[in-house]
A = this chain, B = another copy of it.
Amino acid sequence: MLDITPAKKLTATIDGLYKTFGEGFETAPTETLDLTFEGISGDRHAGLTRGSGGREPWYPRGTEVRNERQITILSPGDLAATAAGMEIDRVAPEWIGGNILMSGVANLSFLPAGTLMYFDGGVTLAVQAMNGPCRFSGASIAKHYPDREGLDLLFPKVAKRLRGLLAWVEKPGTLRVGEVAKVAIPEQWIYA
């Protein structure tokens, strides 16, 4: 039997915006983010295409594929749950390369692919996938807790399904801190 769950609408608010400045994995706060079809202008993850990486072992590394991983979206709730699981005070969005900190949606990391976020200022983002936590992000967190050992490898275990979302730009424009978005989840379904 096929049971259809109707689409749901939620609302979220931008608590913080961050981008990379120059080299390096970490991001730094910014009041606005300018988005094109390539992603965040001047950011290291911008581009219409990207080279494939270690998470895609079915491609030779560096294979040119469409870039659907332009933007990293995190939530305060998921970050707090990650910090609690790692028994540390906090995980800052910047440490793990976050671009948008969004509050108001519980279990943000579980928003499915195809979810659309319509921001009041005119930007639309499309969710491509839940992000996967890696030891490089873990190492970035570990740098802030020099008295603790093994945080780099603890992060991938603890942050599974708490690592936020990867998204791409459906409609370009500028995001601002404090801006609100309507979040439209696509029709989901259950085989039972």
Contact = CB atoms under 8 A, between A and B. Distances in A.
A65 B171 contact: yes
A129 B184 CA distance: 13
Contacts of A101: none
Contacts of A65: 124, 170-171
Contacts of A126: 66, 68
Q: Report copies per complex.
A: 2
Interface of A: 37, 48-49, 58-59, 63-66, 68, 110, 112-114, 118, 124, 126, 128-130, 168-171, 186-190
A51 to B, nearest CB: 12
A66 B169 contact: yes
Majority-rule SS of A interface residues: strand
A15 to B, nearest CB: 24
Contact of A190 (B118, B187, B190): B190
A113 B168 CA distance: 14
A190 B124 CA distance: 26
Which 9 A-B pairs have CB atoms at the shortest separation, nearest pair first? Answer: A113-B114, A113-B113, A66-B170, A65-B171, A65-B170, A37-B66, A114-B129, A113-B186, A110-B189
B114 A187 contact: no
Contacts of A129: 114, 186
